[in-house]
Amino acid sequence: MPKPGVRPRRWRWVYGIALGTVWLAIALGALFAWLASELPEPRAIKSFEPPETIRLEYVDRSPFVSLDASGGTAVSLQDLPPWLPQAVVAVEDHRFYRHGGVDLRGIARAFFVNARAGAVREGASTLTQQLAKNLFLGPERRLKRKAQEVMLALWLEQKLSKDEILELYLNRVYFGAGAYGVEAAARRYFGKPAAQVTLAEAAILAGLLKAPSRYAPTVNPAGARMRAETVLDRMVAAGLASAAEVSKAQLAAVVIRDAPVGGRYFADWVLDQVPDLVGSRNGSIVVVTTLDRAVQEAGDRSVSAYVKREGTAKGFSQAALVALEHDGAVRALVGGVDHATGPFNRALNAFRQPGSAFKPIVYLAGIEAGLEPSSVFIDGPIAIAGWRPSNFDGTFIGEVTLAEALSRSINTVAVQVAERAGRGRVAAAARRLGITSPMPTVPSLALGAAEVTPIELTGAYAAIANGGTGVWPYAITEIRDERDNVLYRREGSGPGPAMATTTAAKLTRMMIDVIARGTGRAAQLDRPAAGKTGTSQDYRDAWFLGFTADLTAGVWVGNDDNTPMNRVTGGDVPARIWRDFMIAAHRGKIVRDVIPAARTVPIEAVSAPKSFPAEVKLPPVVAQPGTSAEPPDARSGRGRD
């Protein structure tokens, strides 16, 4: 028998569980009260109105462009064609009418999809959760905010019908290009009220919700149509449209209404960022951008002039230009020749092979692995698992320093540097410089096999220019409401140190030599400048990127369909566009005798003679058994200059 006053063990377990349950309930109640204390009044949903106008300003606060943000009043669900709300439900939340605000089945599905992919491929937020977040909570991604989002979603489901929630969502959600709500979006993109949109147009609008900046038909017509096809397929799968109805939808016949303004590529980019920075706001807002009017006009003139004058003869039809302050502030952005006829923003969204313009990143990895600009390599035949890279002119010059190899854009040396440093180290260096595009660690990575966008490669060069500190290119410094209250102000900088200052200085000195005596001579200015040329396989892409003490700029030329140009190299048209642009952009600026990043390394450390002790020389690389072979495709990334 148990001793008097001592509970049997099983009762101690029961008591412990009961006590734990009580404390858990108290803790959850306290947590609920804490979260609820900061929740807004859900009835405020009725008073929401989208911004009346969004005014963009240049960096000097002068007017840039003013756009109508609302485009119309709220519309009733009953006044919309049935396929419009059906398209939104099909692609955003096909179980909308079957869950209570939070879709547990969707959460489980997203968990397994993302776990299998090893990355976030699918979300699980319902339309009700999205409505709660957009109206009340803003863009923050914190656990507390997510919990509040769930609480608000459950509250909305209790107080409103499904149709009321869907109607509110359609009238408040952001569709890109400054358009809040389905009525504004229909007028913005199609020039008609939402009540008149066709099934194809409804699919395009619904497709925008996943990523307005990526799928906006004014920016990416082909991507918008592909996304719309996905919407139509999901409508059929969800039983919200028949295959016969979908087959009659004429996506190719949809006419997109464009309202051209100066610097429209930049304006599109800015407008798509505003909701993420300030959420949904009443009244008008003012966005102070980083754009410099004179620098932007110089970029527009340079790109347009060369495409018109030389494009037909040399076989290229498009170009892009990005100019940054060394802290990442975008002073000019040209996404193409003509926004009205080609609204796809190549500066932000065109993934192209950089060719030899990638080599400074390779040499960064080499210097970090112990090499010096004076290190000697042998420019000669090499083989890596059957791949035999060659130089642009098909010849070899033998003994050469690292600095001279970059100046003359010698491919065999770049490959040797990447193999000696390690391809993984090269990919990691690109990541530190802000390049987020995939970096395949194949031998041709050294010659620019990885596809990048002009803005991320220009940002990487800016990190070299400012002494090794990484930057994130940005377009907005401040957002204010109509009463001049600050809603957002940019604080902080980029990702931090990307390389040692001495390493940045060595690279800068080597890149100065590219313009002074190497492949970039056509880019010479009346002031110190550093840069690098790049041309991809079969002359499909040509690049020039470089910097002065004041500005970093990158230029790409090519064709949207990836057809080869007529022997255009990076040292030709892109270098001359860059030169003309930089001359105009620097007009009135004081000439500085030294680029800051180059001050810590004397010139003789880069321009030293080639006679070094034998132990410094690095032999050509020959692949060992088991090394991965180079992909034998036509776009293998062999640099061309």
How many Cα atoms are found within 13 Å in the side-chain-facing hemisphere of 219? Answer: 27
Distances (CA, A) of 266 to 34, 78, 388: 42, 37, 42
Distances (CA, A) of 18 to 14, 29, 188: 6, 16, 60
Residue 92 is a catalytic residue: yes
Joined tokens for residue 488:
């957002």
Strands 330-334 and 318-324: antiparallel
457 and 449 Cβ atoms separated by less than 8 Å: no
C-alpha–C-alpha distance, residues 429 and 289, integer Å = 30
Catalytic residue among 57, 92, 167, 630: 92
C-alpha–C-alpha distance, residues 209 and 198, integer Å = 18
Question: Helix 83-92 to helix 162-172 angle, to the nearest 10 degrees?
Answer: 90
DSSP state of 635: T
C-alpha–C-alpha distance, residues 268 and 277, integer Å = 15
Q: Which residue, chain included where needed, has tokens 């932000």?
A: 348
Length of the chain, in residues: 641
Sign of the C-alpha dihedral, residues 633, 634, 635, 636? positive
C-alpha–C-alpha distance, residues 98 and 587, integer Å = 63
Sign of the C-alpha dihedral, residues 155, 156, 157, 159? positive
DSSP state of 527: S
All residues at 6 or more sequence positions from 496 whose CB lies less than 8 Å from its CB, including other chains:
469, 470
Q: Which residue, chain included where needed, has tokens 């470089």?
A: 546
Distances (CA, A) of 527 to 303, 321, 524, 541: 22, 21, 8, 27
DSSP state of 95: T
If one counts every other C-beta atom within 10 angstroms of the C-beta of residue 566, the result is 11
Residue 419 is a catalytic residue: no
Joined tokens for residue 175:
């569709």
Largest CA distance in the chain: 104
Cα 611 versus chain centre, distance: 45
User: Which of 502, 362, 354, 369 is CA-nearest to residue 427?
Assistant: 362
DSSP state of 2: P
Distances (CA, A) of 304 to 299, 308, 573: 8, 6, 12
What are 288's strand-pairing partners?
Answer: 57, 478
Phi, psi of 180 (to 5 degrees): -105, 120
Q: Which residue, chain included where needed, has tokens 């979260």?
A: 35
C-alpha–C-alpha distance, residues 458 and 324, integer Å = 8
Catalytic residue among 356, 374, 409, 536: 356
C-alpha–C-alpha distance, residues 556 and 101, integer Å = 47
- Please tell me whether residue 408 adopts helix, strand or coil conformation: coil
49 and 171 Cβ atoms separated by less than 8 Å: no
The set of catalytic residues is: 92, 356
